[in-house]
Structure 1
Amino acid sequence: MNLRGRLTWSRSSVRLRLLAGLAVLLVFGLTASAVSSAFLLEDFLDKRYGRTLKSSADRLAEVIAQGPQTADADQLGALLGPPLGLVAVDADNRVLDSTGSATPAAAALAEISLTVPVGSTVKYDGDDGEDRDGDAGGDEQHGLEAIRIPSPGLVIDRGPEETDIRPAAVVLAIDSSVDDGTVATLIKRQLGLVGGALVLLLGLALVVLRLGMRPLAKMARTADAIAEGHLTERLPSRRNGSEADLLAEAVNRAFDAQARAEATVRSLAADTSHELRTPLTTISGWLDLHRQGGLSGPGLETALEHIENEVGRMRLLVEDLALLARLDAGRPVERDHVDLTALAASVIEDAQIIYPERGITMAPAPSAPVLGDADRLQQVLRNLVGNAVQHTPERTSVTVEISQVGTDVRLRVIDDGPGIPPKDLPRVFERFWRAEASRSRAYGGSGLGLAIVEAIVHAHHGRVDVESEVGAGTTVTIRLPRATTRK
């Protein structure tokens, strides 16, 4: 799949998911802001109308409380016009007169004002069915607030053509729905602004996403180049600590690890074929000589002996490689109680018989219990002692020391040979690696001894280190977890 195909707006596209998530957040945030603004404005207007009604009612009550008063109906209508209104009722709560915004719902206001204590505010939303005259008043008037005020001594002069009225109480009302249109207009305009802001912000988000996705696009192009065979290519990284850089560095580390693994496999294959080529060439040479009739009598026996030796070398090499493969695969080793001191003493005894002319000794040591595979640990000791003997001059002494340090058992194989140069020391555990010509096939070694030691020790959850000084000798130290004493 090419780069263009990977960056399309599919359902699983990161770009599409980010944009969709941002759109949802913007719609929610802008809508919540618009609704909150409308709610706050409506609440402010309702409280303002309530304060206006209360202050007007207090002033009217103060005037009435001063004694008998005569009020002109026309002037009263002008003073208490919309959004205010007045309903005058008699002692039987019948409507005598009304002004302003209270007129359409006069009967209803007179009735509901009796449901609350005098001086308290009551709300009327026009949803209580029919008014007193029997007309459907539910849809004519909404959002009225009213206060009932007793009015003893109040006379309302309605002019020479009509009779004056003497109300027992007046109901002062205010229409709080006057500004409902303002709130509705505000909501419509805010919804328009929300839509415009959403389009603008999503457009800006597209630009930002395009810029933000550039590093990923570059990574995709580099990954395509690597897939096409440019194995030295690596993902671009600015090392600025961003998420894209962290991803690029992690992928680059994975590519580097893969490259090292592939190089190791190629090197292993080359080294293995090189190690097998020599014995195979020797065997082939003796067989050719035999086919040509050049071997007979004692010469034939010598040829068979050489062939047998070379076959043995190849068998050991194959067994070592198989062991390393099992250990590399992480296969668990046996976990039995092993006395490392007794195991080392047995290996030293065998070495003293095989190399009687060498000074191979073991320092006195207490019992050192560990959990592990006795055969594999014995192979570690044989490899270490064998390396120390085979790759040092004849007068070199080899000493094995065992001690307990904290929760570990420490085993040291020490020789006073020529030592290993510092430049070669980091490579001593590499497979098929030999530091110098002295480590040649003449000793029968394959270059896997220390690699096997390291693999076995790691399989036992231990650690192996090498210290060496040119002219002073080499010390190989192994640390293994100490086992608890069995009861």
Structure 2
Amino acid sequence: MKAKLRLGWSRSSVRLRLLSGLAVLLVFGLTASTVISAFLLEDFLDKRYDDTLRGSAERVADVISQGPQSADADQLAALLGPPLGIIAVDRDNQVLESTGSATASAGAVARLSTTVPAGRIVTYDGHDDQEHGLASIRVPSPGLRIVDISGTAEPLRPAALVLTIDTSIDDSTTAALIKRQLALVGGALLLLLALATVVLRLGMRPLTRMAHTADAIAEGHLSERLPTRGNGSETDLLAEAVNRAFDAQARAEATVRSMAADTSHELRTPLATISGWLDLHRQGGVTGPGLETAFEHIENEVGRMRLLVEDLALLARLDAGRPVEQDPLDLTALAAGVVEDAQIIYPERGITLAPASPAPVLGDAHRLQQVVRNLVGNAVQHTPAHTSVLVEITQLDTDVRLRVVDDGPGISPQDLPRVFERFWRAEASRSRAYGGSGLGLAIVEAIVHAHHGRVDVESEVGVGTTVTIRLPRAPRTG
């Protein structure tokens, strides 16, 4: 029902907007076609009138040029043929004789013909419903006599002949054509809109199915995904993009659930320890020197919980995109301090810092120190006692690179992509003798990203592991 409401014929629906746009295009296209057709037909007819008049004028002029000629009006009319007409005028432009289509408007056509040079065509449109449109051309006629076949009247000696042709018939034909085309346009528009409605309904089916699937997902069927055909169409691309968004959301929710479960698991052990010692004390099983031991255990477990909560709070702040401090510092000096502390804490381990020049970066000294400490601590705590650890710092063109290299047992290829997952620990390749929450490398990655850097891990079983971080080099001052 929701999909129908979204995809129905509402004022803002895609279907209605597409159909409205198509209707406008169809009306414009069909109307333009009608206008163009009428214009081309009228232009063709006008050219035909012009050609007919000019051809007839040339024939009359050829006959007149041969010398004095005598003819009656009927002979002239027969010479020219319908729908032509003739108007004979004297030197004063008075009508002497008219035949055919010129009879009704002879005077007006004769006067109009004097407004242009002889041999040029002029059009008379008429001034009332009884008069027809006429195209005319004026031909000088010196020496021409028009005789009366009955012999009862004196011959006429016209100074010029005005040849006319009736254009009203073709004008009515053009008007009728336009009317018919408009009727056809109306019928074609209705038919095309009906077909467009069907096509749109079929074309919108993928969107309807997508809406139904989205509703199903919203109702709790989280495994549902929008249907795709794999044909690369726009709807397929949209469905794939939405499916990726749903997958990302599902992964995020799974991560949250996993984090909640892992956090509760990590907190359960120290809480159980604390609860056990408290129960033992309550039952009178801890007295005298044993009470101090119980307090030490409780204090250790509280410390573990405090560190876990602090790590989670740090990750939450970094995930929220809170900016870190951007103070100038020397990464080489910072790493040297961490290595020196590690050498004191683990005197039996070979932990060294390769000679390096000062490496200026911008960042939060406390957080970057935590990064180096976590990397060195991971290398020490999760490798055998004979494993050496080397810290190298190199300055590149735009970056400062810090590498922590160990020659321990390495990480298996199937575990390597998961090393930055929160609460994840490799069971086979790294010892869990030192415990840990599994947040060390996750915190490293989050802090490095907050400093606009990147972190990579390379490892080969039996050879060792190298963790590399790159941080933007601080711009030179002065």
Instruction: Give your verdict on TM over 0.5.
Output: yes
- Following superposition, the deviation at residue 480 of structure 1 comes to 1.4
In 1, Cα distance between equivalents of 2:403 and 2:139: 109
- Following superposition, the deviation at residue 99 of structure 1 comes to 0.9
8 Å contact 1:81–1:99 — kept in the other structure?
Answer: no
Q: Do the aligned partners of residues 147 and 471 (structure 1) sit closer, same or farther apart at CA in structure 2, a change above 3 Å counting? A: closer
- What is the correspondence of 1:86-125 to structure 2 with a 5 Å cutoff? 86-125=86-125
In 2, Cα distance between equivalents of 1:84 and 1:395: 121
Q: 3-state DSSP class of the match of 2:230? A: coil
| 2:243 alignment counterpart | 252
Which of residues 307, 310, 329 is equivalent to 1:316?
Answer: 307
In 2, Cα distance between equivalents of 1:179 and 1:202: 34
In 2, Cα distance between equivalents of 1:468 and 1:279: 33
Letter of the aligned partner of 1:29 in structure 2?
G
Letter of the aligned partner of 1:375 in structure 2?
H
In 2, Cα distance between equivalents of 1:77 and 1:437: 117
1:443-465: CA deviation from partner (whole Å, max 9, x where unpaired): 25211011101111111121211
Letter of the aligned partner of 1:346 in structure 2?
G
- Following superposition, the deviation at residue 406 of structure 1 comes to 3.1
Which of residues 130, 142, 153 is equivalent to 2:143?
Answer: 153
In 2, Cα distance between equivalents of 1:316 and 1:97: 123
8 Å contact 2:146–2:157 — kept in the other structure?
Answer: yes
- Following superposition, the deviation at residue 177 of structure 1 comes to 2.1
8 Å contact 1:457–1:464 — kept in the other structure?
Answer: yes
The alignment's TM-score, normalised by the length of structure 2, stands at 0.95
Letter of the aligned partner of 2:447 in structure 1?
I
| 2:84 alignment counterpart | 84
| 1:2 alignment counterpart | 2
In 2, Cα distance between equivalents of 1:179 and 1:413: 96
Give ranges in structure 2 of 5+ residues lacking alignment.
Answer: none
| 1:336 alignment counterpart | 327
| 2:162 alignment counterpart | 171
1:14-44: CA deviation from partner (whole Å, max 9, x where unpaired): 1121111111111111111111111111111
- What is the correspondence of 1:143-222 to structure 2 with a 5 Å cutoff? 143-158=133-148, 159-222=150-213
In 1, Cα distance between equivalents of 2:326 and 2:348: 36
- Following superposition, the deviation at residue 274 of structure 1 comes to 0.7
8 Å contact 2:34–2:178 — kept in the other structure?
Answer: yes
Letter of the aligned partner of 2:427 in structure 1?
E
1:38-69: CA deviation from partner (whole Å, max 9, x where unpaired): 11111111110111111111111111222221
In 1, Cα distance between equivalents of 2:73 and 2:386: 137
8 Å contact 2:454–2:471 — kept in the other structure?
Answer: yes
In 1, Cα distance between equivalents of 2:354 and 2:89: 123
In 2, Cα distance between equivalents of 1:348 and 1:178: 107
Which of residues 408, 419, 431 is equivalent to 2:410?
Answer: 419
In 1, Cα distance between equivalents of 2:113 and 2:79: 21
- Structure 1 residue 48 corresponds to structure 2 residue 38: no
In 2, Cα distance between equivalents of 1:417 and 1:109: 114
In 2, Cα distance between equivalents of 1:302 and 1:74: 144
- Following superposition, the deviation at residue 442 of structure 1 comes to 5.6
Comparing 82-91 and 259-268, the one that deviates more = 82-91
- Following superposition, the deviation at residue 347 of structure 1 comes to 0.6
8 Å contact 1:336–1:371 — kept in the other structure?
Answer: yes
Q: Do the aligned partners of residues 87 and 391 (structure 1) sit closer, same or farther apart at CA in structure 2, a change above 3 Å counting? A: same
Identity of matched residues, %: 79
- Following superposition, the deviation at residue 258 of structure 1 comes to 0.5
| 1:73 alignment counterpart | 73
- Structure 1 residue 463 corresponds to structure 2 residue 454: yes
Comparing 174-183 and 152-161, the one that deviates more = 152-161
- Following superposition, the deviation at residue 6 of structure 1 comes to 2.6
| 1:28 alignment counterpart | 28
In 2, Cα distance between equivalents of 1:485 and 1:117: 89
- Following superposition, the deviation at residue 392 of structure 1 comes to 1.5
Q: 3-state DSSP class of the match of 1:467? A: strand
1:356-375: CA deviation from partner (whole Å, max 9, x where unpaired): 22221111111111111111
Q: Do the aligned partners of residues 440 and 267 (structure 1) sit closer, same or farther apart at CA in structure 2, a change above 3 Å counting? A: farther
| 1:428 alignment counterpart | 419
Which of residues 258, 261, 264 is equivalent to 1:273?
Answer: 264
8 Å contact 1:362–1:399 — kept in the other structure?
Answer: yes
In 2, Cα distance between equivalents of 1:406 and 1:124: 88
- Following superposition, the deviation at residue 80 of structure 1 comes to 5.0
In 1, Cα distance between equivalents of 2:76 and 2:454: 105
In 2, Cα distance between equivalents of 1:438 and 1:164: 131
Comparing 165-174 and 155-164, the one that deviates more = 155-164
1:173-232: CA deviation from partner (whole Å, max 9, x where unpaired): 112222111111111221122122222222222222222122212212222221222211
| 1:477 alignment counterpart | 468
8 Å contact 1:361–1:400 — kept in the other structure?
Answer: yes
- Following superposition, the deviation at residue 166 of structure 1 comes to 1.7
8 Å contact 1:421–1:469 — kept in the other structure?
Answer: yes
In 1, Cα distance between equivalents of 2:100 and 2:429: 120
Letter of the aligned partner of 2:315 in structure 1?
L
In 1, Cα distance between equivalents of 2:327 and 2:424: 32
Q: 3-state DSSP class of the match of 2:386? A: coil
Q: 3-state DSSP class of the match of 2:168? A: coil
- Following superposition, the deviation at residue 439 of structure 1 comes to 6.1
- Structure 1 residue 241 corresponds to structure 2 residue 261: no
Letter of the aligned partner of 2:316 in structure 1?
A
8 Å contact 1:83–1:178 — kept in the other structure?
Answer: no
8 Å contact 1:81–1:101 — kept in the other structure?
Answer: no
Q: 3-state DSSP class of the match of 2:403? A: strand
8 Å contact 2:57–2:163 — kept in the other structure?
Answer: yes
Q: 3-state DSSP class of the match of 2:222? A: coil
- Following superposition, the deviation at residue 139 of structure 1 comes to 4.2
8 Å contact 1:64–1:151 — kept in the other structure?
Answer: yes
Letter of the aligned partner of 2:126 in structure 1?
G
Letter of the aligned partner of 1:14 in structure 2?
V
In 2, Cα distance between equivalents of 1:372 and 1:337: 7
8 Å contact 2:383–2:430 — kept in the other structure?
Answer: no
- Following superposition, the deviation at residue 386 of structure 1 comes to 0.9
Q: Do the aligned partners of residues 178 and 353 (structure 1) sit closer, same or farther apart at CA in structure 2, a change above 3 Å counting? A: same
8 Å contact 2:8–2:15 — kept in the other structure?
Answer: no
1:307-349: CA deviation from partner (whole Å, max 9, x where unpaired): 2111111111111001101111111111111111100110111
